[in-house]
Structure 1
């Protein structure tokens, strides 16, 4: 049965592409423009720089000012702090990529790596303050929700998700492996090899953005009306296209909730991007999907609570 579906699906996709080639062209173009103008210049420099920091043993220097907060609240080791910081600052899928690489090089333990996968992949502040904030401003009638409330609803769920993940994975905090055990000097660092690896990752990410942008374009042109379902579905498929559709078609505070939920979840495009950088069998993409769904749910609940509090105080 699975083999039959697997054979049939690409045939149906090909028929769909041939039936509506203009939509496929527009979706592919929009996805590649998004990748080239937003994702590539935002993510690639961080990706290259973080690899150099790790190779030069600069992780401790970077994480030392934040270690008391992250180790006290989230029970992270210094290397674990770096994984979380890379995910928070760089956006999808940098946190998962660093997590997988640190597990492969034995800089963190398997328990901490599984724990970090639940909390280390996020939208970057640049995306939130730039693209998402601009789309919230375009919501018909205003979203009725300040940007700081949306940002809190996006990032505060890390704390309850972290507590639950620690309990499930049996992680209670630990030190990083010693340099000898980690094998950090197993091979000399080559900047050219590192940069080519970053390029390879970016090409994979661009391919997934293009494919899911095509899918989003077909969903946006379905022949029947789905007033709330269509933009919500687009947000679940690809967050940039989805956020644009939500802002253009959903008025008021419901638009803010849908935009925050889509951003917290990361979209199936983000899930496939994350899967492409998880090269270690010890990290489960199924677990990751469940954690992101939980994070998105908590984001919605928290945003609703903040909005109610604002209405009461205002």
Structure 2
């Protein structure tokens, strides 16, 4: 037997045994961390996710996705090279949050409504957080600054759109225009909708049942990863990772406390954002950038939830995780660039004495002094590059076809 197969087989076994050993050695701490995960699930995730999950299931079952998809198909086909129904998944994800986008994308693929390449392009940008979490939970509840939430949510969606443009040419597949008129397509959807004989209340009951099961699964992941993080902390593994990460980040002025908070967010996004917000010794802009990265990346807990849905399809999960890392990086970058607009002149006076290592330098001061000129130029260049990229990829696909 090959060594690679043995390694793949035994790594999950050792991880589970390690977790069980940690729970046995530290039962009180494990119970406390499980209660913290349960508290996040009951107070944050259920109220914010359950109505949207049920609504999203109904939208799919009632064929509303198909009808709206036909209407917006020309726009989404040009921008993201996906069908209209796929772009509607992105819209639902921006409202409802994790892991609804990945769930709907996997269902479209399971039902063979989209191709493998389109599904891969879709999940690269349709798995997003929702406004209720970013503005309500993170900005208002954790950072005590509701206005910061509007900056973070703007950068979060800009990052998602940028990733969608980056993956636009994946699979070298061109979305073809429908051969039927809009009216014929809608009539076909309506006929299909009533062909199964299920009424509204049957579909509503199924949506509630599936929504509750989805939330139970989400809660299980949150609780398990809360315990995992606690066990790793008690074994000082998190401290070791934080120290390794602190070595390069210390050049930017990042403290060990902030590194530890950031590492916790890589496991569970909500816990990490809360810990980052509590590190008040660091400036708000850096905490906002790190929180934006975590929300875009989503953390191992949410990645595991999304991969649970995607594993039922032929979507490449490694590529999906890379797209989430790219989403987090771009969200943090946009937050950094747009923060001067958010803070205006107050930013200049606050940073010189608080964060000298990172911000008291010629490049940063030049950017702050001239951001009203540099930022519009950056936006113009970004739009221009995006348009050129769209044009080139479209021409390449046409030539290959």
TM-score interval w.r.t. the shorter chain?
0.7 to 0.9
Coordinate RMSD, CA, aligned: 3.1
Q: Deviations over 1:12-50 (max 9, x none)?
A: 212211221122111111111221222122222222222
Correspondences of 1:1-314 after superposition (within 5 Å)? 1-2=6-7, 3-59=9-65, 70-135=76-141, 137-138=143-144, 146-175=148-177, 187-189=196-198, 190-191=202-203, 192-218=205-231, 226-249=256-279, 251-252=282-283, 253-307=285-339, 310=344, 311-312=368-369, 313=371
SS at match of 1:106: coil
Secondary structure at 1:122 match in 2: coil
Q: TM-score, normalised by structure 2?
A: 0.68
Contact 1:92 1:122 in 2 (8 A): yes
Higher-Rg structure is: 2
Distance change >3 Å, CA 114–CA 175, structure 1 → 2:
farther
Aligned residue number for residue 253 of structure 2: none
In structure 2, relative to structure 1, the CA distance for the partners of 1:101 and 1:4 (3 Å cut) is closer
1:283 Cα deviation from its structure 2 partner: 1.1
Give 1:59 shift: 2.5
1:6 Cα offset (Å)? 3.4
Contact 1:236–1:242 under 8 Å retained in 2? yes
Question: Could you tell me how far apart the structure 2 residues matched to 1:176 and 1:87 are?
Answer: 25
Evaluate the alpha carbon distance shift between residue 186 and residue 221 of structure 1 in structure 2; reply closer, same or farther with a 3 A threshold. Answer: farther
Deviations 1:75-113 (A, max 9, x none): 432211221112111111100110111112222232221
Counterpart Cα distance in 1 of 2:296 and 2:135: 14
Contact (CA 8 Å) 1:86, 1:98: kept in 2 or not? no
Q: Which stretches in structure 2 are left out of the alignment for 5+ residues? A: 1-5, 180-184, 244-255, 345-367, 373-401
Q: Pick which of 129-138 and 200-209 moved more.
A: 129-138
Give distance in 2, aligned partners of 1:188 and 1:47.
23
Using the size of structure 1 for normalisation, the TM-score is 0.86
Partners of 2:340 and 2:135 in 1: how far apart?
Answer: 23
Report the CA distance shift for 1:16/1:205 in structure 2 as closer, same or farther (over 3 A).
same
Cα distance in 2 for partners of 1:9, 1:76 equals 38
Verify the 8 A CA contact 1:219 1:230 in the aligned structure 2: no
Aligned CA distance change for structure 1 residues 104 and 229 (closer, same or farther; 3 Å) = same
Task: Look up the SS of the partner of 2:271 in the other structure.
Answer: helix
| Cα 1:215–1:41 shift into 2, 3 Å | same
Call closer, same or farther: CA 1:113–1:4 in 2, change over 3 Å.
Answer: closer
40-49 or 301-310, larger mean C-alpha shift = 301-310
**Cα displacement (A) at 1:200:** 2.0
Distance 2:178 2:58 in 1: 19
After superposition, the C-alpha distances for 1:143-166 in whole angstroms (9 at most, x for unaligned) are 9x9443322221112232112212
| Structure with the largest fraction of helix | 2
Q: Secondary structure at the match of 2:306?
A: helix
State the secondary structure of the residue aligned to 1:281.
Answer: coil
Tell me: CA distance 1:244–1:219, structure 2 relative to 1, closer, same or farther (3 Å).
Answer: farther
Give the 3 Å change call, closer, same or farther, for CA 176–52 of structure 1 in structure 2.
Answer: farther
CA drift at 1:297:
1.2
Question: Compared with structure 1, are the counterparts of its residues 136 and 7 closer, same or farther at alpha carbon in structure 2 (3 Å cutoff)?
Answer: closer
Structure 1 stretches lacking a partner, 5+ long: none
